[in-house]
Amino acid sequence: MIAFDFSSRVAVITGAGGGIGQRIANMILKAGGSVVMIDLKEEPGDLAGLPEQRLYAQGDLTDQAFVTAVIDEGAARFGSIDHLANVAGVLWFDRDASLLEIDLDVWDEIFEINLKSMVHTARAAVPHMRRTGGGTMVHFSTTQCLRGDPVPQDAYSTAKAGVGALSRSLASQLASYNIRSNAIYPGLTMTPLQARWGIPEKRAEIARTVPLGRIAEPDELASAAVFLLSEGASYITGIDLVVDGGLLLK
């Protein structure tokens, strides 16, 4: 296990109320960092670190004023904003569908949550990073946008394709400010978004589609994200990191 040091560093993490986002938060807290956590869900009871290391804000990431206020509050409380992890997203199997038939209001709502929310967080965090001489960002996309799906969730996969473009654009624009930006493309991962895999038989069936023979645990995606945020990745920016157990080999 890599040992990370986030002492005197401050991270903003969206989707930190569970799943991969909470795992990233806990890793940074255990490594001595402070974390600003944003989620629609209530604050979980099993967060790591001390209360003085944490600022938890329950609210809507599509509300730009809310996002900016929370990030500014975190900078004022902890002294800086050094890292941003855009993890939050929605996967609506009951409403997302082919672009030929989806309700376009649903399309717009999914784009607001899965892509535009990252614009809000970046616009709020980058001025603080510039002020302190640098920072790092990681943005979560999906392998689904690289391979298509016979049962389409077109709004989800198209918005997530935009995440890669957003990340690369930020990397190009902000390199001279010592701000790095990278994107992660998870494969099949056992998160709350995938409650449909709740029974062991279904998980085993899905695992057989992955060359490594299993579904990823949230910690495995969180570790990749924390590495990209850390000084261990100090010469890495503008990349698309696929973490999928070999799924795209098929």
Instruction: Write out pLDDT tens, residues 181-225.
Output: 999 999 998 876 665 556 677 788 888 989 999 999 999 999 999
- Can you tell me the mean pLDDT for 224-241? 98
Query: Residue 10 CB: number of other CB atoms within 10 A?
Result: 26
The verdict on residue 3 lying in a domain is: no
Domain span at residue 174?
10-249
Q: Is 56 a catalytic residue?
A: no
Domain count within the chain: 1
pTM of the model: 0.95
The verdict on residue 193 lying in a domain is: yes
The verdict on residue 1 lying in a domain is: no
Q: One of 156, 177, 185, 235 is an active-site residue; which one?
A: 156
* Amino acid identity, position 8: S
The verdict on residue 2 lying in a domain is: no
Q: Give the pLDDT confidence of 46-81 residue by residue, as tens digits.
A: 999 999 999 999 999 999 999 999 999 999 999 999
